[in-house]
Amino acid sequence: MLKRSKYCGQISEEDLGKELVLCGWVHRVRNHGGVVFIDLRDREGIVQVVAEEKTYPQAYEVADSLKSEYVIAVRGTVRRRPPGTENPKLKTGNYEVLAQEIQILNTSDPLPFPVDEETHISEELKLRYRYLDLRRESMKENLLFRHRAYQVIRRVFLKHGFVEIETPFLTKSTPEGARDFLVPSRLHPGKFYALPQSPQLFKQILMVAGFDRYFQIVRCLRDEDLRADRQPEFTQIDFEMSFVEEEDVMNFSEELICTLFSELLGIELKRPFERISYTSAMERYGTDKPDRRFGLELIDLTDIFKNTEFKVFADAIKSGGVIKAINFKASNLSRKEIDELTQFVQSLGAKGLAWIKVEEGKLNSPIVKFFNQQEIEELLKRTHAQAGDTIFFSADQKETVYKILGNLRLHIAKKYKLIDESKFDVLWIVDFPLMEWDEEENRFVALHHPFTSPKEEDIPLLKQALETPHIEEKKELISKVRARAYDMVINGYEVGGGSIRIHKREVQDLVFKLLGISQVEAEEKFGFLLNALRYGAPPHGGLAFGLDRLIAIMRGLDSIRDVIAFPKTQKGVCPLTGAPDYVSPKQLKEVHIKEMG
């Protein structure tokens, strides 16, 4: 067998006149009768191989029989292409390899879809034949980019003295958070391991162990429904530091992100990253992960309508809600377009969508007739309304208004292409509430996770909240308690989040109590962490980045499937392997599982 001496994509000036051996896949064949052109492709790119009948008849004969995606080895000489026949689309387009010998290493059946960038293939087919999909230039580049990111990440961590340590995949199911994937234990009938949602507890324990700075690029697993940016298994860049405060973790995180952007994209992000509070993000964008590359900010109008005759608005205010609006400037929307947007918000659970089209000298709207002159004037002023604008309203409980307008804002931006895709909007969200009331569970739940430290100055509020028997007062007090947490957001995606952790047993007990986790339950589920906190736990904090999201954003991709070699479909299926699948009764018996009728 001929042994490769160079990658196709790396043929350059220095190879002129040299004889070398290339190995790769037949990307395309162009047979002109007497001369055959082969675009030969490998990991590094494509080069044109020429087989001429008159110079090397044997090589020509083989070339003549080649089909798409045959695997071949070519021995030949690099030469400059004849003037006028260069191909500027190829990196190697000034050269070609005159084949002296061609060996067919393997043939290929006709492909189920072409290995090119032009054809849009359905996700199911792409994943079933992932090995063909990954031969495509863009997919190959996505994975090579990800590979380069790993190298940069490791270098930055090493530079700062972080220690890479692996944590268990077979671990203990813990309450709170996402649904666990469970693994039945063969040796312990009826017992289960859980696959980790993240190495959270282990990294904290490593801090107690004194490793001081830990990192890991690690798979995390959550049994929840999928989205374009959510897979059941995904990768975190996880790290934790001892003897630090928020600034230290955020500072390091910024360096890591800046280095990635600089080295992989040649983009210098401005430091420090801007910070906005959770409350301000919610009020202005209706979400805690705002995309600020376009306007359409939420405008509060509650005070303007506090005495309004308009029943919908009045009712919302009366029941403690708010009135907010967004102004789609210069949109000149048709009635049909407004109807489409109405349908969109209805799919989010809104009853309808109130709107005003601002026209030259008049307002076109089904609701202005309910407003008095003063309300109209103030609302137009507050929203900076001009002819051509369309103003959309939402009046409801705060959470609902945020959800409706936050999503409408994004929907409009995408639909009407208001987003400058060449920009990266990077920011921190800080001052998260520590907990929020969960109506369904009828208790407080941690916004981040139960090990997140409250701000020192807010701890008295927690104690007060614990003592008061009045639930409304409790809610009021708790809502004021802020967490020492921080999320990094890029282009409207949460790419990372972390916090300073609780390292004092008493504080952890206090938080568990307020979360309604009993002493017994806490001991049973998190006892190992609580115990660790007794034995000299240093103050510590950390953060975890979603590597898949980060890479997808950097590559300008909409779905993290495109940066994962073998992802799952929206139903959690792997079309390549057929997982998940049934297992034999014998296997089930071994792990003590009986099928339900």
Partner RNA sequence: GGAGCCGUAGUUCAGCCCGGUCAGAACGCCGGCCUGUCAAGCCGGAGGUCGCGGGUUCAAAUCCCGUCGGCUCCGCCA
Site for RNA in 154-183 (CB under 7 A): 176-179
Residue from the set 50, 405, 533, 551 that interacts with RNA by CB under 7 A = 50
Instruction: Enumerate residues 292-331 that contact RNA by CB under 7 A.
Output: none
Cβ neighbours, 10 Å, residue 12: 13
Nearest distance in Å: CB 385, RNA: 28
Residue from the set 159, 188, 191, 227 that interacts with RNA by CB under 7 A = 227
Asked if residue 31 binds RNA (CB under 7 A), the reply is yes
Considering the complex, state which of residue 68 and residue 479 has its C-beta at the smaller distance from RNA.
68
Query: What is the distance between the alpha carbons of residues 358 and 372, in angstroms, rounded to a whole number?
Result: 16
Considering the complex, state which of residue 185 and residue 569 has its C-beta at the smaller distance from RNA.
569
Instruction: Enumerate residues 405-464 that contact RNA by CB under 7 A.
Output: 407, 440, 445-450
Please report, for the chain, how many H helices and E strands are present, in that order: 17, 22
SS3 56: coil
Residue from the set 573, 576, 588, 591 that interacts with RNA by CB under 7 A = 573
Nearest distance in Å: CB 272, RNA: 25
Considering the complex, state which of residue 115 and residue 322 has its C-beta at the smaller distance from RNA.
115
Asked if residue 17 binds RNA (CB under 7 A), the reply is no
Nearest distance in Å: CB 485, RNA: 9
Considering the complex, state which of residue 357 and residue 484 has its C-beta at the smaller distance from RNA.
484
Query: What is the distance between the alpha carbons of residues 406 and 399, in angstroms, rounded to a whole number?
Result: 10
Q: Which two tokens stand for residue 568?
A: 């799952």
Asked if residue 470 binds RNA (CB under 7 A), the reply is no
Q: What sign does the dihedral 491-496-502-508 (CA atoms) show?
A: positive
Residue 572: partners with Cβ closer than 8 Å, 6 or more residues away: 226, 232, 580
Buried b (16+ CB within 10 A) or exposed e, 437-472: eeeeeeebbbebbbbbbbbeebbebbeebeeeeeee
Asked if residue 368 binds RNA (CB under 7 A), the reply is no
Site stretch for RNA (CB under 7 A), options 23-31, 134-142, 250-258, 271-279? 23-31
Residue 591: partners with Cβ closer than 8 Å, 6 or more residues away: 184, 185, 186
**Binding residues for RNA, total number by CB under 7 A:** 75
Residue from the set 7, 37, 192, 566 that interacts with RNA by CB under 7 A = 37
Instruction: Enumerate residues 81-100 that contact RNA by CB under 7 A.
Output: 81-82, 84-87, 89-90, 93, 96
Asked if residue 112 binds RNA (CB under 7 A), the reply is yes
Asked if residue 225 binds RNA (CB under 7 A), the reply is yes
* Beta bridge partner(s), residue 362: 359
Q: How many degrees, rounded to 5, is the angle at CA 578 between CA 572 and CA 581?
A: 80
Query: CB of 102 within 8 A of CB of 517?
Result: no
Instruction: Enumerate residues 193-222 that contact RNA by CB under 7 A.
Output: 197-198, 200, 222
Residue from the set 347, 364, 577, 587 that interacts with RNA by CB under 7 A = 347
Q: Report the relative pairing of strands 182-184 and 95-106 from DSSP bridges.
A: unpaired
Residue from the set 4, 18, 53, 475 that interacts with RNA by CB under 7 A = 53
Asked if residue 550 binds RNA (CB under 7 A), the reply is no
SS3 152: helix
Q: What is the identity of the amino acid at 490? A: I
Residue from the set 42, 133, 180, 229 that interacts with RNA by CB under 7 A = 229
Site stretch for RNA (CB under 7 A), options 109-117, 243-251, 547-555, 581-589? 109-117
Nearest distance in Å: CB 495, RNA: 13
Instruction: Enumerate residues 380-409 that contact RNA by CB under 7 A.
Output: 403, 407
Considering the complex, state which of residue 343 and residue 519 has its C-beta at the smaller distance from RNA.
343
Asked if residue 527 binds RNA (CB under 7 A), the reply is no
Q: Which two tokens stand for residue 90?
A: 């190829």
Considering the complex, state which of residue 29 and residue 323 has its C-beta at the smaller distance from RNA.
29
Strands (E), 301-434: 322-328, 354-359, 362-364, 390-396, 426-430
Q: Report the relative pairing of strands 233-242 and 274-277 from DSSP bridges.
A: unpaired
Considering the complex, state which of residue 90 and residue 354 has its C-beta at the smaller distance from RNA.
90
Query: CB of 232 within 8 A of CB of 179?
Result: no
